[in-house]
Structure 1
Amino acid sequence: MTQPAAPRSASTSHPPATSVRADAAPRLAARGLVHRFGETTALAGVDVDLVDGGSLAVMGPSGSGKSTLLHVLAGILVPTAGVVALGGREVQSLSEKERSLLRRRRYGFVFQFGQLLSELSALENVALPAMLTGSSRAQAEEAARQWLGALGLAGTESRRPGELSGGQAQRVAVARALVTRPEVVFADEPTGSLDQATGHDVMRLLVESTRAVGAALVVVTHDAQVAAWCDARIDMLDGRVVAAGAVPGSGVGPRPGELEAIRATAVPR
């Protein structure tokens, strides 16, 4: 039965971008990633390491390649060149069916607008991935109920997405991503549709919860305050990793005392 666990701590490193603990073997490793859409180069040689319980923010302006990087790491896109390995096994060498099963069983996803199924209750939305991986309905719903409770959503189990606030809906999306205890969670602008305080609360829950299950976390964002919640950060421009602060308008990461101030404003709601 799937149960939440206690959080643990982390640190930072770069390059290649690694989410935590320099001595830890990477759960997901990428080397020399290149991806082209016709004549357009979206990735031009990117290296990334992600370890269990670590979190990495990927920042950059529109068109910088950050979403393409997420899609390649998640096996949604097969890179033009380079290697992505999960637990030492090359993802790009898998068939489309195998990559689909990998995303279902070993990855979790959180999207900007949640993408919850409107006709299902919060409990059913969270239970669905577990049922798709073979759990019985009773097991899946019990695991879903536990995760909803752990994320402050006890009492909302029967509500449909339209009956939830934006913050509640996104926390349901986090619970759905974690219910199968994935090895890696990918979050694409997870706070983009939320106000600042609610967004900080969602990021706190996302980072702490992925650490609790020992999952690696990749967050694509344009917001330096959101990125500050992660153990490490890379900035992208024209498909390449560039020095932090080199991208106009992206900021240079948290200044002294800034991270503490951000966390102090994360009031659950």
Structure 2
Amino acid sequence: MSHTAHIPSHRKPRRSAPKTALRAGVAGGVLSTIAVAGAAGPAQAEPVARTIEMPTITDGLSTAVAASAQATEQVAQDLRTQAQQDEAAASAAKAAKKAKAEAVRKAEAKKKAEAAAKAKAEAALRASRTQARTTLSAPTGGSPASTAVATSSSSSSSSSSSSATGSAASVVSFVKAQVGDAYVSGGTGPNSWDCSGLVQAAFRTVGVDLPRISQAQSTVGTQVSLSNLQPGDILYWGGAGSAYHVAVYVGGGEFVGAQNSSTGVVQRSLSYDPPSGAVRVL
């Protein structure tokens, strides 16, 4: 007996032919099915319906929307308030402009009225002084017009008989030499004068130092009647101490004075602008 007779064989047992054929046929069928399916193309998938749930509005989003609406309303309110303020400011500016124009108009009207009243008062004052002088010097009877002419003639005759001499002649000569010069308020020469500046300069030539202004010049020396004037006398318009104009009597019923910016220094008859009074310094 062989020494290997009892050792099991390590070879795998051979399968039977029927089982092998069956397994080959199943495998081939499966492979054929797969091949056919691949050739036929992919199968159409059935549509799938899915429901998507939308998120709900949260409390935070509601609060934000409310805040935005409130902010929009506040902006609208601010715009309305600003519009009202602008309209009020425009109305106030318009009212102020109208009030200013009215105030200017009233001021101009007042100024004109005051100027007219002053001119009227000055005219009335001159008329009353002329009348007073006429009454004092006129003979009884006769009309005011004839009396005034008689008074003027009498004064002129009386004055004409008096000729300037000495210092008075120098004063008269000086003021006559300035006729034609310009009138300038505050002017003291040598080519422009105001009324009191001319009178002061004239008397300074003979060593007499007069005050600078008309009011003071109307009170120096001795008050004299207008019917007894002499060359060199100072004539004044207005009251003594409150005169608003002065000039120098040069004889022959005439005076020289710096009248105004329109006429300058002129020589005029007393009847051109009858003075209120006179003072004698020389």
Bucket of the pairwise TM-score, normalised by the shorter protein: under 0.3
Looking at secondary structure, tell me which structure has more helix per residue.
Answer: 2
Point out which structure has higher relative CO (alpha carbons under 8 A, 6+ apart): 1
Q: Higher strand share goes to which structure?
A: 1
- Tell me the TM-score normalised to structure 1 length: 0.26
Q: Give the TM-score normalised by structure 2.
A: 0.25
